[in-house]
Structure 1
Amino acid sequence: MSEKSANYWIEQLRLQAHPEGGYFNETYRSEEAIKKEDLPERYQADRVFGTSIYFLLTTDSVSNFHRLNSDEIWHYHQGGSAIIHMISPEGKLSSKRIGSDLTSGDSLQMTIPRGHWFAAEVIASEYILVGCTVAPGFEFQDFELADREGLSSVYPEYQTLIQQFTNNKK
């Protein structure tokens, strides 16, 4: 059986454009929640236990630098490989591969720690389809899309990478 195209997955999974780039569809949102007073101060309201989405990137649609208040786990499903670039709160740059080519250094799943700026790009094939799980659950108020000028001023040594994975608007 031949590999499906990115458009096939976008249509079949009813994926929508995501503000960071790529396409997504939320597939799970816990019915139970954690009260704000039981969460760390970085959360401004109650949060569900966890959420999960399908997330698809193409060679034409990268995931721009952003960060979350919660850890996010990526699970490989289909397509090629991607590199996830991360800048820790201390300013350390690291890159990890996700995909099915384990002999080339891919991993079938990986975790992006909370508070890390991260971006992703497809490096093998035309797309990658992953699942993303966030706990406590994802809310857009916990999502911060990087501003090119602001992120470059904090991490000038990564200006070329930041330029590649941001747009001019916040």
Structure 2
Amino acid sequence: MTVTHDGPDRPDGPVTAEFLVAHYGLEPIPREGGLFRQTWAGPGRADGRPEGTAIVALLTADDYSALHRLPTDEIWHFYLGDPLHLLLLAPDGTSAHPVLGPDVLAGQQPQLTVPAGTWMGARVAAGGAWTFFGCTMAPGFTFEGYEHGAAADLTARYPAEAARIAELCRP
């Protein structure tokens, strides 16, 4: 997908990952990988969590979103770039491999919901350079709710996904 802009603060040609990093002030996502910026946080709740949160994020071909799970549903939104392959490991022991992207005729999804408690990880599609996407949660994300995946534990629970788990785990 190519998006062009003109104007003083816009690139002369197609949007690049470097432009998006500078334009949005993206910073590394702790432990998980990729770059992000929170774009919205709703009012605080009695439990200290925000009512909702939204981020924009960028993954490049040389990085990935490590397997992790969250206590509430997370909605992923495709914006620009190449498709993003996800690995979802459900609490019931099943797995899924959805693709976040613009080509709905090829089975890609411009938006998908990852249910609470599902292990999730993602990588830019083979041959791709980068994916710019967003994630929304309600109630909102807090780092206390983030659980990082351990390769040995996940491989024991989901042995059929051992190779993908190894590719999507960080120590």
TM-score (norm 2): 0.87
Note the residue ranges of structure 2 that are not aligned, 5 or more in a row.
Answer: 5-12
Q: Does 1:161 align with 2:146?
A: no
SS of equivalent residue, structure 1 residue 120: strand
Cα offset, 1:84, TM superposition? 1.2
Report the count of equivalent residues.
Answer: 158
In 2, Cα distance between equivalents of 1:77 and 1:32: 28
Q: CA RMSD in A?
A: 1.3
Q: Does 1:31 align with 2:31?
A: no
Report matched runs for 1:9-158 at 5 Å. Answer: 9-18=20-29, 19-33=31-45, 35-36=46-47, 46-123=48-125, 125-158=128-161
Which letter does structure 2 place at the counterpart of 1:160?
A
TM-score (norm 1): 0.88
Cα offset, 1:98, TM superposition? 1.0
Alignment deviations for residues 106-144 of structure 1 (CA, whole Å, 9 cap, x no partner): 111110111000111111631111111011100001001
Cα offset, 1:28, TM superposition? 0.5
Task: Give the structure with the higher percent strand.
Answer: 1
Identity %: 32
SS of equivalent residue, structure 2 residue 130: strand
SS of equivalent residue, structure 2 residue 62: coil
Alignment deviations for residues 15-59 of structure 1 (CA, whole Å, 9 cap, x no partner): 1111211111011011242x23xxxxxxxxx32110000011111
Note the residue ranges of structure 1 that are not aligned, 5 or more in a row.
Answer: 37-45
Alignment deviations for residues 75-113 of structure 1 (CA, whole Å, 9 cap, x no partner): 111111111110000110101111112222111111011
In 2, Cα distance between equivalents of 1:151 and 1:107: 26
In 1, Cα distance between equivalents of 2:106 and 2:62: 23
